[in-house]
Amino acid sequence: MSLLSYSESGANLDIEALLRAAEPLIELAVAEDMGAGDVTSQAIFSAETQVHAHIVAKAPGVVAGIPVAEAVFRRVSPAIHFVARVEDGEEVTAGTILAEVNGPARAVLAAERTALNFLQRMSGVATLTRYFVDAVACTKTVIMDTRKTIPGHRALDKYAVRMGGGVNHRMGLYDMILIKDNHVEAAGGVQPAIERVRAACPYLPIEVEVRNLDELRQALAVTPPVDRILLDNMSVEEMRQAVSITAGRVPLEASGGVTLGRAIEIAETGVDCISIGALTHSAAALDISMEVADAQHQLPQQDLATRIAAVKALMGNRLVILAHHYQRDEVVTCADFVGDSLELARQAARSDAEFIVFCGVHFMAETAAILARPGQHVLMPDPSAGCYLANTATLEAVQTAWRRLDEIFGDAVAEFTPVTYVNSAAALKAFCGQRGGLVCTSSNAERVMRAALEQRPRVFFFPDQHLGRNTALRTGIALEDTLLWNKHQPPDSEATRKAKVILWPGACNVHQRFRPQDVLAVREQFLGIRVLVHPECQREVVELADDVGSTRHIIERVQSASPGTQWAIGTEARLVRRLQHRHPEQRVMLLASAPPFCRMMGQTTLEKLVCLLEALARGEMLNEITVEAETSYWARIALERMLAL
Ligand code: 13P
Ligand code: SF4
């Protein structure tokens, strides 16, 4: 087992373990705050006064520590009823209710500060971690923490890092060997230092810190090789050279002075992980507060659903509500049609409704608008819901790459069929339409790639490198015949000429979070478990999985499996949670230990849907999605080529 998976499973705290670690801290914190009692609340509220309160995010961020907050309320009074409205690992916007708390006013208010202190601190760490994780999501580099944690809070800090999508480094001095310069000096060199620790602790993984390329060469000369080498405070150029010298023989960790601004250039050197002390020593607390709510403050979801049903009854078949499978449960329940991106595109194309309300992300609504007939309108409850992956390719950047292909081949159109994943802007679909290319979704990518290769000798695939690579391999193209485009330094003409499929360096920040170590860990823990993943996951994960397919494929596989089947699923968390509830006769779990939610998909709430629908009922159109006529014309051609296959 590799060092990464070792240290990860070493820190793999489930909720029970988290609460065990939190218990003494809660005792301490409650005691320091309560002292002899909350004198103010005792003076103001009678013992019988009950209160209903909401814990609300005041800023956007990633939530971590909900179970700890709940434990604080329960510790202060078992009469407090705590209902979580979000899960740890979920990205929330300002104003999101994280939990509801009911109970005796004195107890609720006495627990408030302590519960929030834990929740704010842990959510701050998870949020900062997520910024770094997202910054490097188009690379294979993982983000790691360090031992620079609040004394006594290590388990909580490291749990929060995992909820942010990061990976834990060693938990302490006991679970891994890290040889630093002072150890090397005392032992008389790298080789003797390693020999000594190997003799003393033969089963522990070994990491060696190096400060320059000479030391790196010495560490690489050790046999058998160490488990990881830490590049301490090297410049980006030195790290690039270190990656080239190491040539994949030993995983490399970059450390020292890593800022959010530098993370991507460090990751692009090809290092395997970046460890960042700031994740835990400098994370600002997420702004979260508790508000005492009156009954009218927040309409229950049930009322919102009733209001939606009323608008649907009023509008009849003038209105259709489409929702992607990654939408929130309450939104999915209100939809007329739920599907994956291909099914939704088809449904939009065949709908006669005057108003198509699209609960999904922007490119999906844009696709519906392109396929809409004159007089039809596509509206989104939240038009700012974009897609991380779609945003990794702009028309300008793709045009620049295409011009380079023109230079190398004379005429890129004669050589390449451009294929864009549906997760892309309309302008890129139009780019394909104008050049004889087409669109694909995760359901039909293989068929599309074969069709594209029948048409011309090569394919230029964007924006998702993983879907493109996984699909190319399934169609029988060798890995060496694919080429990852580099936006900053386009590949030379010899390498480009050798490529059959050129891949844009984009990725989905949700599916990127599943890693090969997750597959190995889940197989080790659950005998006979089947691993089922989306093709937006990286090749190494897809190769280890039992099955790969689109959202629809994943749903169908679980639906048709016999009771008792065990699944570890590598796709968006809301869909996996729904499958878990729908199939209690099977064991369905997420492939990752921290749930990867698509933030953008979660932006559509029932409140926003009600607002849009009630405006529509009043004759007011909000958030219409339109595409400029020429772009729409060419994009439609690319989409129709796909739909005709
Ligand atoms: P599907 O094509 O499987 O619906 O996927 C869309 C998507 O955005 C996946 O992340
Ligand atoms: Fe985009 Fe990824 Fe979200 Fe799908 S899961 S909509 S690809 S960000």
Catalytic residue flag (residue 587): no
Q: Give the Cα separation of 24 and 431 in Å (integer).
A: 60
The backbone torsions φ and ψ at residue 482, rounded to the nearest 5 degrees and listed phi first, read -105, 155
Which residues have CB under 6 Å of ligand 2?
361, 387-389, 423, 508-510, 536, 572, 598, 600-601
Q: Please choose, from the candidates 2, 616, 626, 610, the residue with its C-alpha nearest in 3D space to the C-alpha of residue 366.
A: 626
Residue of the CA atom closest to atom 3 of ligand 2: 598
pLDDT tier at 562, thresholds 50, 70, 90: very high
Tell me the ligand closest to 509's alpha carbon: 2
Give the model's pLDDT for residue 593: 79
The arithmetic mean of pLDDT across residues 538-550, rounded, is 97
CA 510 – ligand 2 centroid, Å:
6
The arithmetic mean of pLDDT across residues 476-501, rounded, is 93
Pocket probe mutation, ligand 1, options 322, 325, 326, max atoms within 8 Å of Cβ: 326
Q: Which residues, 6 or more positions from 569, have their beta carbon under 8 angstroms from its beta carbon?
A: 531, 532, 533, 554, 558, 576, 579, 588, 589, 590, 591
Catalytic residue flag (residue 113): yes
Q: Which residues, 6 or more positions from 222, have their beta carbon under 8 angstroms from its beta carbon?
A: 190, 191, 194, 208
CA 511 – ligand 1 centroid, Å:
10
Residue of the CA atom closest to atom 1 of ligand 2: 387
Give the model's pLDDT for residue 300: 64
Domains defined for the chain, CATH in brackets:
8-137+285-292 (3.90.1170.20), 176-276 (3.20.20.70), 321-385+602-630 (3.40.50.10800), 390-509 (3.40.50.10800), 511-597 (3.40.50.10800)
The length of the chain, given as a count of residues: 645
β-strand 416-421 against 438-440: which pairing, if any?
Answer: parallel
The arithmetic mean of pLDDT across residues 48-60, rounded, is 96
- Determine the atom of ligand 1 nearest the C-alpha atom of 511: 10
Q: What is the pTM of this model?
A: 0.92
Q: Give the Cα separation of 449 and 502 in Å (integer).
A: 12
Q: Which residues, 6 or more positions from 62, have their beta carbon under 8 angstroms from its beta carbon?
A: 89, 90, 91, 92, 123, 126, 127, 129, 130, 163, 164, 286
For 193-252, what is each residue's pLDDT tens digit? 999 999 999 999 999 999 999 999 999 999 899 999 999 999 999 999 999 999 999 999
Contact 106, 42 (CB under 8 A): yes
Per DSSP, what are the bridge partners of residue 464? 506
CB atoms within 10 A of CB 9: 16
Give the model's pLDDT for residue 415: 96
pLDDT tier at 348, thresholds 50, 70, 90: confident
The backbone torsions φ and ψ at residue 617, rounded to the nearest 5 degrees and listed phi first, read -65, -30
CA 324 – ligand 2 centroid, Å:
11
pLDDT tier at 299, thresholds 50, 70, 90: low
Q: In which element (H, E) is residue 523 found?
A: helix 516-525
Contact 147, 154 (CB under 8 A): yes
Q: Give the Cα separation of 77 and 107 in Å (integer).
A: 6
Q: What mean pLDDT value characterizes the chain?
A: 94
User: Cα separations (Å) of 2 from 225, 381, 444, 570?
Assistant: 12, 45, 35, 21
Catalytic residue flag (residue 112): no
Give the model's pLDDT for residue 2: 33
The arithmetic mean of pLDDT across residues 524-529, rounded, is 94
CB atoms within 10 A of CB 494: 8
- Determine the atom of ligand 1 nearest the C-alpha atom of 387: 8
Q: Which of 293-297, 311-315, 350-354 shows the lowest mean pLDDT across its residues?
A: 293-297
For 61-102, what is each residue's pLDDT tens digit? 999 999 999 999 999 999 999 999 999 999 999 999 999 999
Residue of the CA atom closest to atom 4 of ligand 1: 340
Q: Please choose, from the candidates 65, 30, 62, the residue with its C-alpha nearest in 3D space to the C-alpha of residue 158.
A: 65
CA 405 – ligand 1 centroid, Å:
29
Percentage of the chain modeled with pLDDT above 90: 91
Q: Please choose, from the candidates 639, 595, 601, 501, the residue with its C-alpha nearest in 3D space to the C-alpha of residue 87.
A: 595
Q: Give the Cα separation of 387 and 602 in Å (integer).
A: 11
Q: Give the Cα separation of 231 and 162 in Å (integer).
A: 23
Q: Give the Cα separation of 49 and 559 in Å (integer).
A: 48
Give the model's pLDDT for residue 424: 97
For 1-22, what is each residue's pLDDT tens digit? 333 332 333 333 478 899 999 9
The arithmetic mean of pLDDT across residues 405-410, rounded, is 95
Torsion, Cα of 511, 365, 485, 535 (10° steps):
30
- Determine the atom of ligand 1 nearest the C-alpha atom of 550: 3
Looking at 485-539, which runs of residues are DSSP E strands? 501-503, 530-533
Q: Give the Cα separation of 121 and 118 in Å (integer).
A: 5
Omega cis (within 30) before 374? no
Pocket probe mutation, ligand 2, options 130, 138, 590, 598, max atoms within 8 Å of Cβ: 598
Secondary structure of residue 365 in the 3-state scheme: helix
CA 574 – ligand 2 centroid, Å:
12
Q: Is the pLDDT of residue 436 over 80?
A: yes
- Determine the atom of ligand 1 nearest the C-alpha atom of 552: 3
Alpha carbon 339 to its chain's center: 20
